[in-house]
Structures are given as structure tokens and as C-alpha cells.
């Protein structure tokens, strides 16, 4: 038996950390949405119990370090499944970019094996399990615009977004999320996103207010190490984006444009000095 699914990238319209739990994990408050830049995850069931991972990327681990492997192993072990799986991942999402690519692959594996192994788990149950893999997996199980709180495990879908285009720019650097999060001091945060106002703006289809209330509290930490991130946001705004922000722990930034024609011009301009640039839209619910 075989099945293939899209595993979309996510961006953070907002990212806030309210306080640190005793284990050092932040209490997150984030608005995330998925975009039409996606990996493809295909799973073929095996008769033996082995879990095998193959990726189209030349440098990603294909053993138990791969988040897709972890997801399959978690379900197989918990539900005492006797069959194994061949997981083939066609990578399109840049790695270690703040776009949640590994988490989205893992979430796709959870969704597919829930079906192929007839586990009958709800989305909430899959999301709860996904937290054991990475804090972004619960969101990716849902994959729709949502408020994400707790350690990443509380997901509240928010419905549709105002219409806009995104110019997504990934500079040629990789960022370690754990390293950035370890440097976070919740007392020192200068600019929090206005999360409630952001949610109201989404509900009332008000793109201007949505952009005004976005922010990412990890930006100062990542840009202190990689100033190019600030420069890219400035460029996006200079070229005419209505708003610009870093996603996750970076280094990817995105510009928001009301009009397609302007997004296309900005895409062309940014492509002049950055090799990984994407012109995409948020996924429709």
C-alpha cells in the first residue's frame, strides 16, 4: 500500500515567548500559516518491520536522526505495528531555514501512517504525539492558519487570511533553532507582537492591521549573529513590500504584498542577489 502527501512549509506571522517553563522551554504564542512551498512525502508499506528513509537532498540524514523516521518509529513502537515503511521525501523546502520543513515531513508521516496502519487517531491526538518529535510538528499536523501556544502543542485554527502574496527569501546561511532559543531572555524582549489585535485583523480580513501587529521576538537574537537578515527585510520594504519579517528562528525572511504585480517585481529584484527566492501564497483552508 502506498500514499503520497504534500508537506507544506510554514511561516510565522507572529512569534512571541511569554516566559520560560522550568525545563527551559518557552511558553510560545505564535500565529502560523502554511504556504504553497512544499516537500512531497510518499510512503510504501513494507512486509518486514524496517523503516527506511530516502530523500532527494544529498546531505540530509536518512537514519533515525531524520524527523520523518522519528515519526514513523514513534507510531510503530507505540501501537506495536508489525509492518515497516519506506518513506521517500522529495525536498523543496530549504533546510534549517525557519520554515519547519523537517517538522512538516514528520507531520505528513504521522497523517499518512495513521491511515495506512488504520490507527484512527484524531488530529489532536496526532498533534499531541508530534510534540515528542519537535515543537513545530503539532502545528504541521493541522497545517492551517492557527494560534499556537503552550510548548507548541495547543493549536487553535483561525480560518482564512486576507488575500496577499509572499516573497520568501532564504539567505545562504543555516540557523540552529535550539541555539537561538537558548539565547532568549523573556525579560529583555523589546517588541512583542500584538497577538490579539493580529487575530482580530485576520478575522476582519484587514491586511493593513495584520501587518501592523506582526512581530517576531527571535529577530534581534538571530540578526545579532547574521545582520544580513535585517538587510534583506529592509530591501523587501525598499522594493515596495507592504511588510517584511523573519520566519521562526530565521534566517528566512518574507515580504508581504497586496498586489501580485508588485510581488513579482520584488521577486525579480531579490532574485538578483539571492539564489533562493520564492513567490508564493498562503495555502487556502
From the list 14, 66, 216, 222, which residue makes contact with ligand ATP (rule: CB under 6 A)? 66
Short-list 196, 269, 255, 265, CA closest to 35: 255
Site string for ligand ATP, 243-262 (x = CB under 6 A): -----xx-------------
Task: Indicate which residues carry an active-site annotation.
Answer: 10, 136
**Cα-Cα end-to-end distance for the chain:** 28
Q: Where on the phi/psi map is residue 242: left (φ > 0), alpha (ψ -120 to 50), or beta?
A: alpha
What's the closest the beta carbon of residue 135 comes to ligand ATP, in angstroms?
A: 7
Q: Which of 29, 33, 76, 103 binds ligand ATP (CB under 6 A)?
A: 103
Reading the block at residue 173, the C-alpha cell is: 546561511
Element (H, E) at 182: helix 177-182
d(CA 33, CA 164): 12
Q: How far is the CB of 8 from ligand ATP (least distance, A)?
A: 12
Q: Does residue 72 interact with ligand ATP by CB under 6 A? A: no
Q: How far is the CB of 103 from ligand ATP (least distance, A)?
A: 4
CB atoms within 10 A of CB 253: 31
DSSP category for residue 1:
-
Looking at the DSSP bridge assignments, the partners of residue 257 are 165
* Bond preceding residue 172 cis, omega within 30 of 0: no
> What is the phi-psi region of residue 187: left when phi exceeds 0, alpha when psi lies from -120 to 50, beta otherwise?
alpha
Quote the least distance from Cβ 9 to ligand ATP, whole Å.
Answer: 8
Q: Which stretch binds ligand ATP (CB under 6 A): 21-29, 57-65, 184-192, 206-214?
A: 57-65
Among 11, 30, 35, 68, binds ligand ATP (CB under 6 A): 68
Residue 280 beta carbon to ligand ATP: minimum distance, rounded to whole angstroms: 15
**Residue 106 CB-half CA count within 13 A:** 29
Helix H or strand E encompassing 130: helix 123-130
Cα(52)–Cα(48) distance, integer angstroms: 11
Site string for ligand ATP, 149-188 (x = CB under 6 A): ----------------------------x-----------
Contact map string, positions 195 to 234, toward ligand ATP, x by CB under 6 A: ----------------------------------------
Query: Is 152 labeled as ligand-binding?
Result: no
Scan residues 15-54 and list those touching ligand ATP (CB under 6 A). none
104 marked among binding-site residues: yes
Q: Which residues are annotated as a binding site for ATP?
A: 94-104
Residues that bind ligand ATP (CB under 6 A): 60-61, 65-68, 89, 95-103, 105, 134, 136, 177, 248-249
Amino acid at each position: 500500500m502506498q500514499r503520497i502527501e504534500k508537506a507544506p512549509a510554514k511561516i510565522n506571522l507572529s512569534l512571541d515567548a511569554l516566559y520560560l517553563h522550568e525545563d527551559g522551554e518557552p511558553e510560545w504564542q505564535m500565529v502560523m500559516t502554511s504556504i504553497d512551498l512544499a516537500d512531497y512525502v510518499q510512503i510504501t508499506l513494507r512486509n518486514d518491520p524496517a523503516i527506511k528513509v530516502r530523500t532527494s537532498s544529498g546531505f540530509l540524514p536518512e537514519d533515525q536522526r531524520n524527523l520523518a523516521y522519528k515519526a514513523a518509529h514513534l507510531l510503530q513502537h507505540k501501537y506495536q505495528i508489525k509492518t515497516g515503511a519506506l518513506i521517500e521525501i522529495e525536498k523543496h523546502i530549504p533546510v534549517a531555514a525557519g520554515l519547519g520543513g523537517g517538522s512538516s515531513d514528520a507531520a505528513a508521516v504521522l497523517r499518512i501512517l495513521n491511515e495506512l496502519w488504520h490507527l484512527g487517531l484524531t488530529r489532536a491526538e496526532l498533534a499531541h504525539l508530534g510534540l515528542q518529535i519537535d515543537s513545530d510538528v503539532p502545528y504541521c499536523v493541522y497545517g492551517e492558519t492557527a494560534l499556537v501556544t503552550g510548548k507548541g502543542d495547543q493549536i487553535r485554527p483561525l480560518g482564512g487570511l486576507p488575500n496577499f502574496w509572499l516573497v520568501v527569501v532564504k539567505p545562504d546561511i543555516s540557523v540552529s533553532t535550539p541555539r537561538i532559543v537558548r539565547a532568549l531572555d523573556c525579560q529583555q524582549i523589546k517588541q512583542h507582537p500584538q497577538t490579539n489585535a493580529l487575530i482580530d485583523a485576520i478575522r476582519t480580513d484587514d491586511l493593513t492591521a495584520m501587518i501592523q501587529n506582526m512581530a517576531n521576538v527571535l529577530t534581534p537574537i538571530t540578526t545579532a549573529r547574521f545582520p544580513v537578515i535585517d538587510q534583506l527585510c529592509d530591501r523587501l520594504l525598499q522594493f515596495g513590500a507592504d511588510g517584511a519579517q523573519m520566519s521562526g528562528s530565521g534566517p528566512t525572511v518574507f515580504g508581504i504584498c497586496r498586489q501580485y504585480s508588485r510581488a513579482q517585481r520584488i521577486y525579480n529584484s531579490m532574485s538578483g542577489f539571492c539564489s533562493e527566492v520564492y513567490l508564493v501564497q498562503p495555502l487556502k483552508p
